[in-house]
Amino acid sequence: MPLDMSLRLPVALLAAAAITRAQTYTLQQDLAGAKFLSAFKYNESAIDFNNFGNVHFLSQAAAVAANLTYVDASGHVIIKVDNTTSGAGDPTFGRNTVYLESNELMDIGSLLIFDANHIPFGCSVWPSLFTQGQIWPAQGEIDIIENVNLETANRFSLHVGSSSCVQPTSVASNQTGTITTAAGSISNCTVTPATGQNTIGCVTTETKPNSYGSGFASQGGGVFAMLWDLSGIVFWYFPRGSVPSDIGGTASPDPTTWGKASAWYPASSCDPSTVFGPQIITLYTDICGAFAGVPSLFTATCGQVAPNCSVLVPDPTNYNDAYWDINYLRVFTNQAATASASASASAASHSASTTGGGGGSGGASGTGGASSLSHLGRAGWVVVALVGVAAVAL
Ligand SMILES: *[C@@H]1O[C@H](CO)[C@@H](O)[C@H](O)[C@H]1NC(C)=O
Ligand SMILES: *[C@@H]1O[C@H](CO)[C@@H](O)[C@H](O)[C@H]1NC(C)=O
Ligand SMILES: *[C@@H]1O[C@H](CO)[C@@H](O)[C@H](O)[C@H]1NC(C)=O
Ligand SMILES: *[C@@H]1O[C@H](CO)[C@@H](O)[C@H](O)[C@H]1NC(C)=O
Ligand SMILES: *[C@@H]1O[C@H](CO)[C@@H](O)[C@H](O)[C@H]1NC(C)=O
Ligand SMILES: *[C@@H]1O[C@H](CO)[C@@H](O)[C@H](O)[C@H]1NC(C)=O
């Protein structure tokens, strides 16, 4: 149920005083059911070059044939990891799933709202819903939903190419989440694959309960919202039962009434108009690889389940909870101009690696790749994130 207006108004007025934030939005993309699935390209790849996971990203035709993406009887969008195929005895086994990238680009002035009943979870599982520029990291990346294994709290973060984008720790009074990557008075969002610094991104972890994992699913899911405008980048999370009444329809929502955000990256320390370019909405699920598979991170929540991540991959019964159950994704805009170029630049990279139909990246190639700092794109940040995460964990 929505919060009582009398409780919300004072917070809203305070926020409005300091932040120039639009109060009316126009619906730009309304994605649910079959329309959701047709709004994305399937980035087919037998190898997960960016994150070294034990996955095989299928083409649309293959994914539909395998029943990995479909609309269920209730009209929900289901996006799965294969939980029927055994990989026993195949050292190069990559579990089938999909990597989805939106056809439309999202521009500054956008408010993205995502309503899900279930987000993939389980030991070795690594889901993410994020946006990324067509040139990475020069046009930035905005992470809306992400975590691994049996963690219970969602992580919001930014990864950028600009060297002047940070989240100041002073935002603590204006967000409910906790900054988990602070160094002194800032959390640095800059990706620097060449030097290995700060590539984990600037992470704020949700503090409201059940934002990730089995708790999220058993409460009936919830809503994540991300606003990217001239005031900065703002994230909210609302558990089912606490979703504001102006969310859920196609009429203009008003984020100034939603109260304190979960995470806030103000424009004063990260210029949202120069650090980020038009964004591709991206959704997929990885397995093991450069986050879920990092030994210290794996054992943190799954040490009682298995000695390491890769040993779980061959058994399909480990992936019964590795699926997205989505009600809708809507993008609203506060800009008069709604024209959005098609994501043609990203399409060029789609043909890179569609050979080796049955194969996937095994644990061995994953380890080999992770030791190299020469990869481009997301590969670069993840490689270094291994180091960063390990250091933080220690
Ligand atoms: C699409 O997949 C390929 C192969 O994994 C990868 O190199 C490329 O970066 C992906 N495209 C995007 C925009 O992530
Ligand atoms: C796909 O799987 C779901 C549940 O796993 C099932 O309800 C549905 O009937 C299947 N669809 C097809 C076309 O096999
Ligand atoms: C953030 O990291 C980048 C890359 O290492 C660096 O150039 C920049 O100076 C850092 N910002 C601050 C405020 O430390
Ligand atoms: C936090 O919000 C208040 C009130 O909106 C504002 O005055 C203050 O500048 C904000 N603090 C930071 C660090 O952005
Ligand atoms: C994972 O654990 C299994 C079972 O103990 C072992 O056989 C395998 O070598 C381990 N793999 C890695 C990559 O450590
Ligand atoms: C696969 O997972 C789904 C839930 O996503 C479940 O309904 C189904 O029974 C599982 N399939 C098998 C073979 O266990």
Q: What is the pLDDT of residues 276-293, one digit of tens each?
A: 999 999 999 999 999 999
CA of 314 to the centre of ligand 5 (A): 12
Per-residue pLDDT band at 197 (split at 50, 70, 90): low
Least confident residue range of 4-8, 19-23, 242-246, 311-315: 4-8
Displacement of CA 12 from its chain's centroid (Å): 27
Judging by beta carbons within 10 Å of its beta carbon (0-12, 13-18, 19+), is residue 110 exposed, middle or buried? buried
Q: Which two tokens stand for residue 182?
A: 């602070």
CA of 9 to the centre of ligand 1 (A): 44
Q: Sign of torsion, CA 344 29 81 375?
A: positive
Q: Average pLDDT of 132-152?
A: 96
Per-residue pLDDT band at 182 (split at 50, 70, 90): very high
CA of 83 to the centre of ligand 6 (A): 6
**What are the residue ranges of helices labelled H in 196-325?**
214-218, 289-292, 295-302
Q: What's the N-to-C CA distance of the chain in angstroms?
A: 41
Q: Sign of torsion, CA 140 128 117 153?
A: negative
Mean pLDDT of the chain: 83
CB count in 10 Å sphere of residue 122? 24
Q: Average pLDDT of 357-384?
A: 28
What ligand 1 atom has the least distance to the C-alpha of 377?
9
Q: State yes or no: pLDDT of 129 exceeds 90.
A: yes
* Nearest-angstrom CA–CA distance, 285 and 129: 9
What ligand 2 atom has the least distance to the C-alpha of 73?
7
% of the chain exceeding 70 in pLDDT: 78
% of the chain exceeding 90 in pLDDT: 73
Judging by beta carbons within 10 Å of its beta carbon (0-12, 13-18, 19+), is residue 249 exposed, middle or buried? exposed
What ligand 5 atom has the least distance to the C-alpha of 295?
14
CA of 308 to the centre of ligand 5 (A): 6
Whole-number pLDDT of residue 196: 54
Tokens 């049955």 sit at which residue? 358
What ligand 4 atom has the least distance to the C-alpha of 170?
13
Ligand number with the minimum distance to the CA of 44: 1
CB count in 10 Å sphere of residue 174? 16
* Nearest-angstrom CA–CA distance, 109 and 217: 30
Give pLDDT tens digits for 3-20.
222 223 333 333 333 456
Residue 83 Cβ contacting ligand 6 at under 6 Å: yes
Per-residue pLDDT band at 367 (split at 50, 70, 90): very low
Query: Ligand 3 atom 1: the closest Cα is on which residue?
Result: 188
Residue 162 Cβ contacting ligand 3 at under 6 Å: no
Whole-number pLDDT of residue 128: 98
CB count in 10 Å sphere of residue 38? 10
48 touches 289 (CB < 8 A): yes
Q: State yes or no: pLDDT of 378 exceeds 60.
A: no
